[in-house]
Structure 1
Amino acid sequence: MSVVMMSVSEDEAEIRLDRWFRRHFPHLTQGALQKLCRTGQVRVDGKRAETATRLMPGQSVRVPPIPQAARPAPIVVAVNENDRRELERMVVYRDEQVIVLNKPAGLPVQGGPGISRHVDGMLDALRGELEHRPRLVHRLDRDTSGLLLLARTPGVAGKLAASFRTREVRKIYWAVVVGKPTPAEGVIDLPLAKLGIGPGSLTIAAGRDEEDAANARTEYMVRDAAARKLSWLELSPLTGRMHQLRVHCEALGTPILGDPKYGGPGAHLDGFDDRLHLHARQLELPHPAGGWLSVAAGLPPHMRETFKSLGFEAGALPAVRRS
């Protein structure tokens, strides 16, 4: 391999130089790249650069000869046709940068002990002709249904992850809970602490000074209620802690209907489907290509049935908005 000049793409805006090299030359170690930078063999727009240098679209990167022997063989993934059809049914929005799925309840987002089938393992089915497979940029609990955002390239994944970190993404969930919270709207501001490991290990912290307590805040509003037996809540997490909404609803004294981990016996009522009634209804986010994207997802079958039996009116599904 001889010296080549490579241009930074629009998709690679603000990526670090070392991450840019890992993307294009995954076999090159960090130590080897640092040596190439230190000796001036790697340059950006003709100037020496450090591994932490942020790149901008259109910049030219000088790539010195890099041994080919260490390159890994390309991975060819066989796509299951059933997975392809199932994922296509989940797609509620798709463009050149992002894909939005309406994940069914019960399907894990990622693998783990005893989990062999999950969304992440199926994403090659949505790759199409692109160089990269779609990437997850956030998570949903296995039992939670609703909107799951995917990035179609690594650069887009970085931009979307930054939007989640800076809380620019607004997430709206719908839940059916047992009881009716008082007051009917407000902010739940209760830190969470983890006890042990594994599913169901989160609980409300005893105090804000407790070791490992994590700040957690959730906006809530009662949208409708069936007497005081069951209520339809709209929830907007202002922080992104694991199981935050489920723990916060339980802390209000109104556990989510069908919650197997945090609800206790009071969350399981005769005559209602005994699955978690929590749905990621809407996402509003800055689109990686500019402007804003707003997407909503219809309720899963078990929540539609519960809404019908309680007389809750979800109304028409809002159309996708790109502005």
Structure 2
Amino acid sequence: MNLFCNFRVFIRLNSHINSCVFSRCLSTGDVVFVPRKLPFRVPKETFSEGQDPFVRSTNKPQNNGNQESSDSNIFSYSNISTHDLKINDNLPDVGGIEENENTIYIQFDGTEKKNRKDAEKQKASELSPAKAAAMNVRDSLRSETVTSSKNTGFDSKGFKIYTDTVPDLKRVPPAKVTSILKSRIIYNEGEILAIDKPYGLPCHGGPGVVNNIEELLPRLARMLPGQQEDLTLHMVHRLDKETTGVMLFAKTEEMKLKLQAMFRNHVISKKYWVITVGVPEPNKGMLDIPMIEKEVEGKHRMSLKPDIGDVYKNLWQKKSRSFGTKAVSKFRVLDDNGTAALVEVQAVTGVKHQVRCHMAFGLGCPILGDHKYSHFNKIAPQKLPVEMLQRFRLRQAKVRTMPMHLHAHQIFLPEIYQGRNLSITTRLPQFFNKNLSYLKLKVS
């Protein structure tokens, strides 16, 4: 059969997906996601770029040979309903956004904090010698405290513990956390505010939650310079507690509704940088696999629910009547060392835990430190390869102390201000950068 002469089929056994595989055309390099263990056929017209929503070209030379099979029993894409598979192809691609004069670029690199420290040093030099000496003693005591706390990041056998590499904002007073948020403001113009969200701060309250962004917004609004006293900040979208990076807020109810509508219509482009355990194969592509919430060991989390079409609907579990929520993610590998990779993920849709679930169960490469999505049928600490443990000087018994490496690197708002685009980018957290150096992964 001609099919197997032109396609190589990869079945991700380690991802435990019982009904989804992807195929790559050896002649064109196109990647197609299809149901697993089901006979299938790709129509001839799909080899022309743009004819089929499943196919994404990788710019390889095209072969004009006949790809069509004559077997009438072979499964065809025409049997799959593509109603839930159409996406907004007008979004910027994963490869980057073209620079033009209509785009405003905002990049946060922490220079404001450094300038503030320089100002404090200059102010201290103008003080009396006695007071300056007292401040020097205070700074030396603080540095000794920090050094001693860093030295406690080892277990009894001399291996590292990574709990102290990220801040514990549970023990910080709300006023201090609000000051931290103010110092991490990236963009504050017009009716939009953007911050660089720190690690470990949830967006909403709940059992055991001491500080959360929603309750701190009134405090933050009062601390903004040059704003009205009755200013109200509105939360537009959410990031997980362990996720860092760009987060948007609106200063008016009208802007809030406008931004939320843009998120619902998948107009806003969101790019994440993650470190994965394992290297995705292929190194660039798109995942279009619906997701559904399920219960694992008494806890709720997201899982994949591939759409196998109306023809094979009886093959799915009869107890489950939901067809899942549409979830689309584009990805590309920025760098890898054979056992880990730095990956850029563009979340086309905005399903809960979409990036985490797609990377872990769709590609079989969970995010480093994501212990909730590292095992398909249980929730347990992540299992790291021996080489990664050696690079981190970490024992497998202490892997649970490793933080999650998921960073919202960039948000792109098209035509948000009088036809002009707005691109907001933020730096990687310190612990993220440090672990990149341990893994010898480079940011291009």
Please classify the TM superposition score into its range, dividing by the shorter chain length.
0.5 to 0.7
Other-structure match for 1:172: 271
Rg comparison, structure with higher value: 2
Q: Which has the higher helix share?
A: 2
Confirm or deny that 1:220 pairs with 2:331: yes
Deviation at 1:105, TM superposition (A): 1.5
Q: Distance in 2 between matches of 1:138 and 1:108?
A: 12
> Normalising by structure 2, what TM-score?
0.50
Deviation at 1:152, TM superposition (A): 0.9
Other-structure match for 1:289: 417
Other-structure match for 2:249: 150
Counterpart amino acid of residue 221 in structure 1: R
Structure 1 residues 199, 141: closer, same or farther in 2, change over 3 A? farther
Other-structure match for 1:303: 432
Q: Aligned to 1:249, which of 348, 351, 359?
A: 359
Q: Distance in 2 between matches of 1:97 and 1:142?
A: 25
Deviation at 1:263, TM superposition (A): 1.5
Q: Distance in 2 between matches of 1:199 and 1:154?
A: 35
Q: Aligned to 2:205, which of 94, 107, 111?
A: 111
Q: Aligned to 1:90, which of 177, 184, 196?
A: 184
SS in 1 for 2:372: coil
The runs of at least 4 aligned residues of structure 1 exceeding 6 Å deviation read none
Q: Aligned to 2:289, which of 163, 184, 190?
A: 190
Deviation at 1:199, TM superposition (A): 6.1
SS in 2 for 1:250: helix
Q: In the TM superposition, what whole-angstrom CA distance separates every residue of 1:44-89 from its partner, at most 9, and x where no partner exists?
A: xxxxxxxxxxxxxxxxxxxxxxxxxxxxxxxxxxx95423311112
Other-structure match for 1:277: 405
Deviation at 1:285, TM superposition (A): 0.6
Is contact 1:256-1:267 (8 Å) kept?
no
Is contact 1:258-1:267 (8 Å) kept?
no
Q: Distance in 2 between matches of 1:151 and 1:173?
A: 21
Deviation at 1:206, TM superposition (A): 5.4
Structure 1 residues 102, 119: closer, same or farther in 2, change over 3 A? same
Higher relative contact order (CA 8 A, sep 6+): 2
Unaligned runs of at least 5 residues, structure 2: 1-172, 314-319, 376-381, 395-400
Q: Distance in 2 between matches of 1:165 and 1:157?
A: 12
The share of aligned pairs that are identical, in percent, is 30
Other-structure match for 2:217: 123
SS in 2 for 1:159: helix
Q: Aligned to 1:231, which of 297, 319, 341?
A: 341
SS in 2 for 1:126: helix
Other-structure match for 1:266: 383
Structure 1 residues 230, 163: closer, same or farther in 2, change over 3 A? same
Q: In the TM superposition, what whole-angstrom CA distance separates every residue of 1:122-143 from its partner, at most 9, and x where no partner exists?
A: 1112324433321110010111
Q: Distance in 2 between matches of 1:185 and 1:245?
A: 15
How well do the aligned residues superpose, as a CA RMSD in angstroms?
A: 2.2
Q: Distance in 2 between matches of 1:125 and 1:141?
A: 21
Other-structure match for 2:55: none
Deviation at 1:279, TM superposition (A): 0.4
Deviation at 1:310, TM superposition (A): 2.4
Q: Distance in 1 between matches of 2:303 and 2:234?
A: 30
Corresponding pairs, count: 236
Deviation at 1:267, TM superposition (A): 5.1
Is contact 1:97-1:289 (8 Å) kept?
no
Is contact 1:156-1:288 (8 Å) kept?
no
Q: In the TM superposition, what whole-angstrom CA distance separates every residue of 1:259-296 from its partner, at most 9, and x where no partner exists?
A: 02001432585316711111000000136433211011
SS in 1 for 2:369: coil
Unaligned runs of at least 5 residues, structure 1: 1-78, 316-323
Counterpart amino acid of residue 157 in structure 1: K
Counterpart amino acid of residue 136 in structure 1: M
Counterpart amino acid of residue 261 in structure 1: K
Q: Distance in 2 between matches of 1:207 and 1:267?
A: 31
Q: In the TM superposition, what whole-angstrom CA distance separates every residue of 1:136-165 from its partner, at most 9, and x where no partner exists?
A: 100101111111100011111111111111
Structure 1 residues 206, 249: closer, same or farther in 2, change over 3 A? same
Confirm or deny that 1:202 pairs with 2:302: yes
Q: Distance in 1 between matches of 2:174 and 2:307?
A: 49
SS in 2 for 1:186: strand
Q: Distance in 2 between matches of 1:260 and 1:174?
A: 18
SS in 1 for 2:417: coil
> Normalising by structure 1, what TM-score?
0.68
